[in-house]
Every structure is written in C-alpha cells, then in structure tokens.
Amino acid sequence: MVFVLLLPAYAYAARSFIIEAGKPKTVFKIIRKNSETKTDLRLPSDGSGPAAFNDGWRWVYRKKVTTMLKDRDDTLVDRVVAKGLGIDSALKGEIVSLALDRVNGLKLKGAAHDAELLGAIIYFYDTGEGPGALEEALRSVKGREYAGIGEFLLADYNERKGFHPEASGYYSRLSKGPSDSFITIAARFRRARLYFFEGKYAEARELFKSLMVSGNKDSALWLANTCLVKGESDYAIRLYKENRGLVEGADLITQMSVADMYALNNEFESARAAYTALKAKFPKDEFIEAFFALKIGDTYLFEEKFEEAESVYMKTKARYNGEPWAMASLAIADLYNLSGEREMIDKAIRLYGIVAGGGYLGSEITYFSLISAGIKAGRFIDTVEHLKKFPQMYPTSPLRIDLPRLYGSLVYRWIDALYKDNDYQGVLNKHYEYGVNVPFGKKGETNLKSGRAALALGLYSEAAGLLDAAIKVGGETVIQESTVSLGRVYIAQNDPEAVERLIKSFLAKYPKTRLKEDAERLLFEAAFIKGDFNAVLASKAVLDAPALLLKKASALRHIERHREAVEFYTKAVSDLRAVGNANLLPEAYSGLADSYFSLARYKEAIGAYKSALALDGLSDQDRSWALYRIARGYGKLNVNGEKESALKELGGINNDIGGWSGPVFKEPASL
C-alpha cells in the first residue's frame, strides 16, 4: 500500500514558503490544536513518514541502498574459508597463501582428490572466476572434506548475482549439517539474510531469532534490522541496545539500521552522527552519499527543526543531478505537502509530477504521491487522469493493486467536496460515474450524501433508492441519518403513511437516538399532511423552523383556535423575515389575516392581507381571496370607499372575475 505524507486532523505543523530571487526563505508556523496529542512526524497515521518502511519512495530508495551495501565489507566468506581450513587469519591474502600450502601438502600426502577439490575452491575464492569448474569439481571429485566450503562459495556467488533460488538451495543443504559447525551456522544466517533481501520478513525474523537463541551474535543485530523494517520498533531498539558492543564493527546495513533506530528513539544527535559517518564512507558514490544526506535532513524534520530540514533538502537538490536530485526533490515535495496549504501542495504536486514522469527509480511509486496529493488538494479531474495513465505506463506494476483504493479515496473526497459546496448535481454525476470505486466502508456515507443531493434536486425516487442503499450498507450513524433523510423524501412525496411506518419503527429501534427531535418533526409533518390536526397539536416536536411554526399555526386555525394561531403566525412571520425567506411569507401573512378576521379583528386582518398582496408568490385565487376579505373587512368597518376600491381590483384580476368574486357581487349589500 502506498500513501503520501499526510497529517491527521489535529496536525500541529504548518508551513509556508516564499521564493525570492531563486533562494528559499521559509516561514514555519506551529499550530497545536491539541496540546496533549501531537503527531509523530516519523510515524504518521497513514504509515508514509520519512522513516516508514515497506512504503513510499523513501522505501524504494532505501531498498536500493540496501542492495548496494549488502556485499560491501562482508567478511563472512573469508571467515567460512578460514574456519573451514582451520586457518587463524581474517586477511584474504594470508588465507589464500596458507590454503595453497595446504593443497601442496595434500598432494605430498597422496590425497589427490582432496588436493584437487581444495585447489578448485581456493582458485574460485581468490579470483571469482570459473564457478562452473568448481561445480564440476564438487560433482566429480570424490574427496568431500572441503565440499562445504565450496558449496558456500557457490551459494555466495549465486546470491551476489541475484540467482536467489540457486543460492537458497545451497544454503538449505548446508543448513542441515552439524548444528555446531561454523559453516552450518553461517549458511543458516545467510539463508535468513536472503529472506530479508527478498522481503520475506516473517521467515527472516523466525530464522534470525532461532540463530540468536543458539548463540549467534550477528543474528541478534539482523533480527533487530528485520524487526525495525517490520514495524516492531520497540523490540528492535531493545535488541540494538542489548548488543551495542557489536554495532561498531557491524556491516553497513546494520549501521544504517542503527542510525534509523536512533532517529525513531528521539536520539537525533546520535542519528545525525551515524548518518554523517555513513555518508563520509562514500565520497565517490553520489547516490549513497545523497541518500544519507537526506536522512540527516529527515532527523531535523523529526525534531521539528523545519528550517534545517529544508536547508539540507535544498542543498542536496542543488548539488546533484539524476537520481540524487530526484530523491531530494521528493523530500522537498513531501515538506511542501506537509503544510496543508493549497499553494504549497500545488508546488509539491509540480515536483511529484516532474519526478513521476522522469524515468527515475522512484518514478513509479511517486505517481502515488502525485495522486494522493492531488486528492488532498481537491484537484480531482487532473488526478483521475493520472489514475488512468498509471496502468498504461506501468502495465505490469504490482502497485496496480492499489489503484481501486486510490480511485475510491478520490471519489469519496470528490463527492464530499461537491456536497459541501452544495453542488448536488455534481454529487449525483460523480456518484453514477465513479461510485462503484468507493470503498465498501465508505459506501454508506457516500450513498447518504448522494441521496440527500437527489432530495435537494427534487429527484425523490432516486433519493429513496440511494438512501435505502445507505441504510443497507452503512454503520449505525449512517443508518440513522439515512432513515431520517428517507423520511424527508416521503414527506416530499406527500406519503404520510410511509413516513409514520418508517419513523415509528426507527424510534422503537433507537429510542435514545440523537436524531429523535428530527424524527418527531417528521411525524408532526406527516400528521399535518394527513389533516390530523389534533395529532399535530399533540406533538412534542421541537419547532425550530418557521415552516414548522406555520404548520402548527395552520392546524390551530383549522380547529378554530385562532388566538393561539395568531401567536404562531406572528412568530413565523418574524422568523421568516429574520432569515430572509420570502417564499413562505405570503402564506404566513394570509393565515395570520384569516385568524384575525375570524376574531373580528378586521383592521389587523386588512393589514396582514395587504402585506400578503405586497409580496410576490400569491396565486390569482389567493389574491382574490385576500381582496375579497379586505372588502368585507372594510364593509364591517363601514369604510365604503376602500371597500369599493378592493372590489374594483378584485374584478380586474387576470382580466376576469376572480375565483372568490362571485359571492361578493351576488350579495353586495352584505358587505
């Protein structure tokens, strides 16, 4: 799995960069939203930090360095030959000289077979030439006293050439020898190390631990190396500490791993000293030298010395070309990406893009950093194109297995961003285009948002289907929110019976739900739609919206409780005006006027009707009703001039007599 360096929600490091005249000037801001919980930059939540193993571009380059280091300063072959011949020397020249004396001595003793085999072994050991001749000698020569040395040399040769199955075969055969034999122990150690280089860390761990228990000291350090890579850092640190006396003379891979251990254990000065010492060993190898220079920069990052980290990264980038330049560029890109600021993430994306398309060792894995940063920055369209491009560029890449996950992450965040922007049509478009890629664990949430988007667009059948799907696959929170949203769909569809079945069952299952007030409001609205005004008034729903106040006022008016209706209409009018909702104001003023009229408060009724008429949104029939009631009100108040004016306007609505004007002209005296 591959991720780009990200911080959790409580991240405390943010940074901005200002480029002046080509020189970086850095300003760092430390933000601690949670003073008790800090993000460990070495081990971020997504497993991709600069010290993360098995992941990211740093791991790719670390593996390359590991391969480059594994055969340097390796004295085990010399020790196997010396021990096998009983020679007390660690110098190859002396070993060869004494071994040749042994060959001559065997010839003088008449031990021709042993002499012939040992001669072939020493020639191969000294020159590295003719593995075929040594293989033939092992097959044909009868003498077997020195065969184990020869087989070990062939195993080592095959391992160095990358022929791991052949090397493993030799090591396995030699591992079956006497348990106290140096060659047996060396073969088991090399077999364990081969597992390590092949990425078979569980097998390597088991074999190294077995060797350590049996007393092999080298295995203790390599067990630590393996545990460090496996993420068992506490155990690895303990092993390094317990065997610190062996570290100074250890192989280069172990020295590198110990430096990593220091960094993970907050021993930053020791880590920098160790990386600096390793860097100094390779003045003519720019790849390794740059790698360890960047590791020094990483220690500053862990220590929150961001300026120092950036300085190291920038200097390394300026000094080298090729792969070292690519490594440094990626370190800088990660630092930009760490900021969380859109401008800096865009800079990171540009650097990731250059490396991803540059044919470098880290190009393939950098595509995933590019994709993840694009998702983080909300550059969804560009990122989809990168996702489509990757399998075309790397058709056999094992990383392709991660593409569905990245598609899922992208679509999930894309839909979320569109939903937050109230782009409901966009939500539905992306849901139907890419929704199949959403991870199963996020499908419920995505279906919920898509269902709500469909509801907002008035696509009630689609909304119902999406919300029902969310209920089937979501967790408890999604199930509850989707159920309430589905109830709103049924309200919109004017289906109060469906609302009551759904919500009553919901409340029975979740009696303490945090959405109880929402659910009770839905039952309130369902009762109103049914015309069950007693149920409306009996409801304990919290009426937190003007539209709900309006419904309660209307219910009170329908059952002739006009004084209470006036109270609720007045509150609804006030709230609607406060929030700037003009759509419902005509209805609110008309209802208020009707209740005033029923209470014979004609002056207030006329004022409310006129307020309704002054607004857009009244139908012709509602305008006719308002004018009719105004005329009647003036009649009751004996204001005949205003009455006649209202009657005249009533007759002219829509160039025809309004729907309510008939009774007026049939009984004019009654006005």
Q: Read off the pLDDT of residues 218-235 as tens digits, 9 standing for 90 and up.
A: 899 999 999 999 989 899
Under 8 Å between Cβ of 642 and 634 = yes
Predicted confidence at residue 225, as pLDDT, reads 95
Q: Read off the pLDDT of residues 443-480 as tens digits, 9 standing for 90 and up.
A: 999 999 999 999 999 999 999 999 999 999 999 999 99
* Overall size of the chain counted in residues: 671
d(CA 15, CA 306): 9
Q: Read off the pLDDT of residues 480-510 as tens digits, 9 standing for 90 and up.
A: 999 999 999 999 999 999 999 999 999 999 9
Q: Read off the pLDDT of residues 46-98 as tens digits, 9 standing for 90 and up.
A: 434 444 555 789 999 999 999 999 888 778 999 999 999 999 888 999 999 99
pLDDT tier for residue 44 given thresholds of 50, 70 and 90? very low
Residues in CB range of 559: below 8 A, 6 or more apart? 533, 534, 537
Residues in CB range of 523: below 8 A, 6 or more apart? 499, 500, 503, 504, 539, 541
For the chain, give the mean pLDDT.
87
Residue 458 has phi, psi (to 5 degrees) of: 80, 15
Under 8 Å between Cβ of 296 and 316 = no
Predicted confidence at residue 260, as pLDDT, reads 94
Which value, to the nearest 10 degrees, does the dihedral of the CA atoms of residues 462, 464, 469, 474 take? 120
HSE-up of 507 (CA within 13 Å, CB side)?
Answer: 14
| Region 141-156 average pLDDT | 87
Q: What is the pTM of this model?
A: 0.74
Q: What's the distance, Cα to Cα, between the start and end of the chain in Å?
A: 83
Under 8 Å between Cβ of 454 and 462 = yes
Predicted confidence at residue 141, as pLDDT, reads 74
Q: Which two tokens stand for residue 429?
A: 């478009």
Range in 41-55, 248-262, 304-318, 426-440 with the lowest mean pLDDT: 41-55
Quick one: how far is CA 532 from the chain centroid?
50
Q: Which domains does the chain have, with CATH numbers?
A: 74-198 (no CATH), 560-670 (1.25.40.10)
Q: Read off the pLDDT of residues 114-126 as tens digits, 9 standing for 90 and up.
A: 899 999 999 999 9
Under 8 Å between Cβ of 393 and 363 = no
Under 8 Å between Cβ of 333 and 345 = no
| Region 197-210 average pLDDT | 95
> SS3 for 357?
coil
d(CA 328, CA 323): 9
Under 8 Å between Cβ of 69 and 256 = yes
d(CA 454, CA 429): 11
d(CA 503, CA 224): 59
| Region 247-276 average pLDDT | 94
Instruction: Look at residue 29 and tell me whether its pLDDT is greater than 70.
Output: no
Instruction: Look at residue 637 and tell me whether its pLDDT is greater than 90.
Output: yes
The type of residue at 126 is: D
Q: Which two tokens stand for residue 91?
A: 């110098």
